Amino acid sequence: MAVFLTEKNRVAVAGLTGKQGTFYGLRNRAYGTNIVAGTSPNKAGTTVEGIPVYATMKEAVEKEQADTAFIIVPASVAAASILEAAEAGIGFIVCVTEHIPAHEQARVYNILKRHYPTTRLLGPNCAGILSPGKANIGFTPSEVALPGGPVGIVSRSGTLAYQALYELTVAGIGQTTCVGIGGDPVPGTSFIDALEAFQADPETEAIVMIGEIGGTAEEEAADYIREHVTKPVVAYIAGVTAPPGKKMGHAGAIVSGNKGTAKGKMAALEAVGARVAQNPTEIGGLVAQALGR
């Protein structure tokens, strides 16, 4: 089955009336996502192709029983929007917004941990989450996905997640859920969170994990895999040729000294038995091997 997101989630879109919010909100709804409301302080009382718009997330919860928030608003108000959703009682928040300052991310992360420990934040600066055949929140192109499992995907990179979906699909291997955790320094959901969910999911038989340079999240995930994950893991780490000290795309993708290198992450994952691809086109074949196909 899917993790974190199914067709039963009742989704309110913060920013639905904006250009990007309208485009992706309606695109996600067309796929089957249960979009029940939008929020906009200035356009409350209007509708977007039949979807009611409320002033606050609290109203969306009270009037439409929203339990999931899709945050697609400018960076200047994204942190406040995340906290508004948590305060309203939303249990799952997906924030795709980029360029939120790192100190704001850290503040939101700590407030959620301290005051709203049962609320899960995915992102920010992530592609979102796709449970093929069930629901989609964010940017992930459902056209390259194949419903039915048995593979779960977790990725810092949106683009590489899309390619992993494609490589699996052309190999005839379906997916349970594709989780984009984002490439910022302070993600709300970690590799470990996704690994734990996939390990517990009876329909997920193998896991694809896509990391990149910067930070220690992949090494921490390797430690977790050693102790807690019994399902086969196929990994790919982007940034093998990245020069030290230069940020590569994502805010968190930077090698500092000898820390955060792609080779170090690859070695850590190989040491715990993960099959590590040398380029993303190998993912489908390695997963097929892991599944004995």
Tell whether 1 is covered by a domain.
no
Tell whether 106 is covered by a domain.
yes
Query: Average pLDDT for residues 199-225, to the nearest whole number?
Result: 95
Q: Which residues of 139-166 are buried (b: 16+ CB within 10 A; e: fewer)?
A: bbebebbbeebbbbbbbbbbebbbbbbb
Answer yes or no: do 115 and 159 share one domain: no
Tokens of 256: 């500092």
CB contact set of 15 (below 8 Å; sequence gap of 6+): 21, 38, 39, 40, 71, 72, 73, 81
Instruction: Tell me how far apart the alpha carbons of residues 178 and 22 are, in angstroms, rounded to a whole number.
Output: 22
Tell whether 132 is covered by a domain.
no
Domain that holds residue 88: 11-122
CATH code of the domain covering residue 217: 3.40.50.261
Tell whether 188 is covered by a domain.
yes
Q: Which residues of 35-68 are buried (b: 16+ CB within 10 A; e: fewer)?
A: bbbbbbeebeeeebeebbbbebbbbbbeebebbb
Answer yes or no: do 199 and 272 share one domain: yes
Active-site annotation, residues: 250
Q: Which residues of 264-276 are buried (b: 16+ CB within 10 A; e: fewer)?
A: bbbebbeebebbb
Tell whether 135 is covered by a domain.
no
Instruction: Tell me how far apart the alpha carbons of residues 181 and 226 are, in angstroms, rounded to a whole number.
Output: 21
Report the number of distinct structural domains present in the chain. 2
CATH code of the domain covering residue 67: 3.40.50.720
Specify which of 15-19, 184-188, 241-245 reaches the highest per-range mean pLDDT: 15-19
Instruction: Encode pLDDT of 247-285 as tens digits.
Output: 555 555 455 555 578 899 999 999 999 999 999 999 999
Answer yes or no: do 153 and 204 share one domain: yes
Tell whether 145 is covered by a domain.
yes
Domain end marker among 122, 154, 181: 122
What average pLDDT does the structure give for the chain? Answer: 94
Answer yes or no: do 118 and 146 share one domain: no
Tokens of 260: 């955060």
Query: Average pLDDT for residues 159-170, to the nearest whole number?
Result: 98
Answer yes or no: do 166 and 275 share one domain: yes
Instruction: Encode pLDDT of 27-37 as tens digits.
Output: 999 999 999 99
Answer yes or no: do 203 and 263 share one domain: yes
Tell whether 157 is covered by a domain.
yes
Answer yes or no: do 225 and 263 share one domain: yes
Instruction: Encode pLDDT of 68-92 as tens digits.
Output: 999 999 999 999 999 999 999 999 9
Tell whether 232 is covered by a domain.
yes
Domain end marker among 122, 155, 183: 122
The model's pTM is 0.94
